[in-house]
């Protein structure tokens, strides 16, 4: 089959005529340029939930700093954004403080201490993906509660009772789910019906939820009250811990009291880079995001992109060629740095980036000729991100996840919260092909107490030492490319934050060797030129990333917030 025929097949759902694509692409560009970012003078909260955003802004208005607001939003999202907001999962937080200090907090889930690298293999050595994605065997030790409380106690100014109470009230009093959340929950109706506690919360006695359904979560409210009264011990010891351990044991899971009591978040030095005079502050391993982002920017810094070159075939070609090498390196070198010696300094060096740049030609390099790797498990798109700045000069970028939408779909009976299925983010069997094509190796193999690799990329960009861009996204392996393109849109193409976020995006992750575009996200002419350069075009994607971002004009003391039009979030400032 020729590439032209493959193109027709891949885009049959979205491309009918060249005129249609051109018109729709122009419409996307126009709408992105005319939708104005939210303006503020004091502080800004941008999150995927209107309810959580409003809670964060109230914290700022009441004198809290960006960390206080981030913790409040984190707990609120566990109530009103259950697909990814959580207390049963984990995440990463990047912080820049008014005194100039930058730091990160790693509250990624950990593998239980009783696991080993072959737990998801049968007696013949075959990988069983159901064990790492479904049921209690898929759950890692949750880190969100410990991480949020650590951030609050070290860098916040308010009491835990003040920042968690809005989430408790939201869970106890309930809220109308609305059209979008109801539809999303209903996608997984069959899964929720497999577990009585999940069925009780996320179905209408087994049936689908209506958009006017009022979601009350009394057990979750009680769990949050225990955390409010006892801090991290309210989750990792006592009543909630007993529920987790008993239900895990009864259902073949691995989490023990020792796993919970020994869990601790880790404060890590951020990954730092410099792109055309702007300082990049991002997340270190076990996130791959910071290293991959800085490495990408280091390569692309060698190109000069004219403003009218945005989304041209030349711009896409050069970016894709850089991303192929970045994702190839990710496969071989990135994992939990507490267990594996990650060569971060080399990967993020300008010298290494220049050597990659020197190999980029006008014709595409086949992925097969770029450092072979080992396909492994899929990284879900269902994370969530929020960005916050305050009036004092603090900025926080936070990404949290349960891995799959609603994690493993198991609500802990008696505690009302969903569990993660993050064990699937390890390499269950190096060498096992996967339909999604994300690549990895021994660096991310399963080990007791180890944190699984992630693509989450919470990032803060500094200009003259002060916050300029605060950004992040969900999207699994597409997070890195989403954050990269928003930063390029702001710095290289001088877009405002809302336009930078809303513009169409593309994605390449080395394997499979294909460029993904969003539906109606480019033109036939651009695709034709890319094919002539030797690129393969994949099936159109409904969305690539759902970015929540802030841009600060320090000179004029104006904060701009933008929430991705691909989703249903909210930016609010004051």
Exposed/middle/buried for residue 520 (C-beta within 10 Å: 0-12, 13-18, 19+): middle
Asked, as a colleague might, if the bond just before 512 is cis with ω within 30 of 0, I would say yes
Both tokens of 210, joined, read 């209506």
State how far the alpha carbon of 373 is from the alpha carbons of 121, 292, 319, 423, 431, in Å: 20, 16, 21, 21, 8
Report how far residue 520's alpha carbon sits from residue 13's, in angstroms, rounded to the nearest whole number: 10
In this structure, how many other beta carbons lie within 10 angstroms of the beta carbon of residue 206? 11
Report how far residue 305's alpha carbon sits from residue 495's, in angstroms, rounded to the nearest whole number: 14
Single out the catalytic residue among 377, 383, 384, 481: 383
Cβ atoms of residues 114 and 456 within 8 Å: no
Report how far residue 65's alpha carbon sits from residue 287's, in angstroms, rounded to the nearest whole number: 26
Which helix (H) or strand (E) segment holds residue 181: the answer is: helix 178-187
Answer yes or no: 383 catalytic: yes
Both tokens of 337, joined, read 């740095």
Report how far residue 93's alpha carbon sits from residue 151's, in angstroms, rounded to the nearest whole number: 9
Tally DSSP H helices, then E strands, for the chain.
Answer: 21, 20
Task: Give the number of C-alpha atoms closer than 13 A to the C-alpha of residue 462, restricted to the C-beta side.
Answer: 22
Nearest to 45 by CA among 497, 471, 561, 486: 561
The gap between the terminal CA atoms of the chain, to the nearest Å, is 57
Q: Tokens 């092909």 sit at which residue?
A: 433
CA angle 532, 534, 538 (to 5 degrees): 100
Positions marked catalytic: 383
């Amino acid at each position: 089959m020729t590439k032209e025929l493959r193109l027709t097949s891949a885009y049959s759902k979205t491309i009918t005529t060249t005129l249609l694509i051109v018109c729709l692409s122009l419409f996307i560009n126009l709408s992105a340029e005319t939708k104005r970012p939210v303006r503020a003078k004091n502080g800004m909260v941008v999150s995927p939930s209107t309810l959580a955003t409003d809670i964060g802004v109230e914290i700022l208005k009441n004198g809290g700093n960006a960390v206080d607001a981030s913790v409040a939003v984190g707990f609120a999202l566990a109530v009103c954004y259950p697909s990814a907001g959580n207390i049963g999962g984990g995440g990463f937080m990047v912080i820049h403080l008014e005194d100039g200090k930058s730091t990160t907090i790693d509250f990624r889930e950990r593998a239980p201490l009783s696991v080993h690298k072959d737990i998801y293999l049968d007696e013949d050595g075959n990988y069983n993906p159901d064990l790492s994605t479904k049921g209690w065997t898929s759950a890692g030790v949750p880190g969100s509660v410990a991480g949020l409380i650590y951030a609050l106690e070290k860098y916040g100014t308010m009491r835990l009772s003040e920042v968690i109470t809005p989430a408790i009230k939201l869970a106890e009093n309930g809220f109308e789910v609305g059209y979008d959340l109801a539809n999303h929950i209903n996608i997984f109706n069959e899964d929720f019906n497999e577990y009585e506690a999940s069925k009780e919360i996320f179905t209408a006695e087994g049936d689908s939820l209506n958009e006017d359904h009022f979601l009350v979560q009394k057990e979750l409210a009680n769990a949050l009250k225990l955390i409010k009264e006892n801090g991290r011990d309210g989750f990792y010891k006592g009543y909630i811990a007993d529920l987790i351990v008993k239900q895990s044991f009864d259902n073949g899971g691995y989490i023990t009291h020792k796993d919970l009591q020994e869990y601790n978040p880790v404060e890590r030095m951020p990954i730092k880079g410099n792109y055309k005079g702007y300082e990049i502050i991002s997340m270190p391993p076990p996130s791959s995001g910071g290293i991959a982002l800085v490495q990408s920017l280091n390569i692309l810094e060698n190109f000069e992109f004219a403003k009218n070159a945005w989304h041209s075939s030349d711009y896409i070609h050069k970016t894709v060629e850089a991303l192929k090498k970045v994702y190839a390196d990710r496969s071989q070198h990135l994992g939990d740095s507490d267990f594996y010696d990650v060569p971060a300094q080399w990967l993020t060096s300008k010298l290494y980036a220049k050597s990659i740049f020197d190999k980029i030609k006008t014709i595409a390099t086949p992925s097969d000729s770029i450092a072979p790797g080992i396909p492994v498990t899929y990284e879900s798109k269902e994370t969530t991100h929020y960005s916050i700045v305050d009036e004092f000069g603090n900025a926080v970028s936070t990404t949290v996840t349960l891995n799959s939408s609603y994690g493993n779909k198991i609500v802990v009976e008696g505690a009302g919260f969903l569990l993660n299925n993050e064990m699937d983010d390890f390499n269950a069997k190096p060498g096992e092909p996967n339909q999604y094509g994300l690549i990895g190796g021994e660096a991310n193999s399963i080990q007791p107490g180890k944190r699984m690799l992630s693509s989450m990329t919470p990032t803060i960009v500094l200009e003259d030492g002060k916050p300029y861009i605060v950004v992040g996204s969900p999207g699994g392996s597409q997070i890195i490319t989403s954050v990269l393109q928003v930063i390029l849109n702001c710095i290289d193409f001088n877009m405002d934050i809302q336009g930078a976020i809303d513009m169409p995006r593309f994605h390449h992750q080395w394997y499979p060797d294909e460029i993904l575009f969003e539906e109606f996200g480019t033109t036939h002419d651009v695709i034709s030129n890319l094919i002539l350069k030797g690129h393969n075009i994949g099936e159109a994607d409904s969305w690539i990333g759902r970015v929540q971002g802030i841009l600060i004009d320090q000179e004029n003391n104006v904060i701009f917030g933008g929430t991705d039009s691909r989703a249903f979030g909210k930016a609010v400032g004051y």
